[in-house]
Structure 1
Amino acid sequence: MTTHELTGLRAVVTGGASGIGQATARRLADGGAEVAVLDLEPSGVEAPLHGINADVADDASVRSAVQRAADLLGGIDILVNNAGIGAAGTVADNPDTEWQRVLDVNVVGIARTTRAALPHLRRSPCAAIVNTCSIAATAGLPQRALYSASKGAVHALTLAMAADHVREGIRVNCVNPGTVDTPWVGRLLAAADDPEAERRALEARQPHGRLVAAEEVAAAIVHLAGPGAGSVTGTALAVDGGMSGLRLRPAGT
């Protein structure tokens, strides 16, 4: 992305107060976009970003926040559906209430936010939606049954949305990160019996040998959202150090 390539564009990022969302919001702003961050805890959002309180699990909250963002920015050209929550365990480890909670945030939250933003996106000459998906949508990961189910739904939803809205001039794509060095992963590591050993294991399963940086995922999101990707829609862009496609021999062999 060239400097100021996004000048004049208006972007909304959900879950933009930390991790991948924060890195994305900042990169959009660095590219010249005006950016509104929708988050449960937007108090730490700093200028030039605009923080707006929103709960993607509550339709009234989402509609109010999206309208406020549109009023503040003068419209919406880019929507980044990034808000999400994690879950650990096998299919037997989480009760129905947790399945409902995670799917409500990770999947229905995208539907709620997109539904609220569509009237504004339809008025944009360069509308783009990018959903934050995961390697868990396309690869079987241990102890991630619920999370994987939610991200598999996000992947399918991205394709359906792309088909529904391409003739309206709205592009829809997603990014599939590998294990990203975010606060949520940090909490998982802290809860492990041996955090350092768990970190080494997570790093080793990615062919490039390290966790993915939030800024790397943000760069992919901003590329898909920008005018340079004007013919890209219905695509899942892997940002996983080769985890989804490479099959390397063990190191040293």
Structure 2
Amino acid sequence: MGDKLLIAGNWKMHKTPQQTREYFEQFLPQVEGVNGVEILICPPFIDIPAAVEMTKDTPVKIGGQNCYYEKEGAFTGEISPVMLKAAGCEYVILGHSERRHIFGESDELINKKVISALEEGLRVILCVGETLQERESGLTFTVVESQLKLGLSGVEDKLSQIEIAYEPVWAIGTGVAAKPEDAQEVHKFIYSVLENLNPEGAKKVRVLYGGSVKPANAEAILSQPHIKGVLVGGASLKPDSFAEIVKIGQRLTA
């Protein structure tokens, strides 16, 4: 996907279709002419048609926040990669810590989803990250390496279609972001793991940082050498603050 920073917004469970339209009416004029970064927004499933419609003929891309690994069938409440692709999505987030911790998703399940999404031509953002307890026990690298290897099992040759998001669980929604240099250390480690899996493919992966990213800390985070983008939660819900983060990315690329 080239060397552009990826500035991605994960809306989680926020906004109706009408609120989605209103958001883009405010957001799009603020990022007009931005071409140095790639902009992605992942709204709830029900908002995807409105988001795709509003961003048509703009460089803004739309993605899903999750999907199941089957194409169709008796899986009440689930969405397939085929459906996301047909709705106009280019990306899907998989393995987000909220999916892992609230909904009990295992690395094995996440891996099935990764394989299935890639087969349908979606780009995957695979999320990894440690809890506070794991961090305090010195297990950050062990946990992250395990999540990477299990999540990418069988698709090591497809790294050019994959991005990784490092999201320390203790930093998500808490307002406490990882220190840029701490995040950088983990990002560098992630690249070393990817290089062991596929030296050529690893060069094409963007490793994003996620966890309380906001306009006030985006520059310090994005200035780190191994941080190739951000996955923004709460700050992506406000058009002004997300546009500001996009512009910071653009400035650093210029």
**Smaller-chain TM-score range?**
0.3 to 0.5
Q: Which has the higher contact order (CA 8 A, sep 6+)?
A: 2
Which structure would you say has the larger Rg? 1
TM-score by length of 2: 0.39
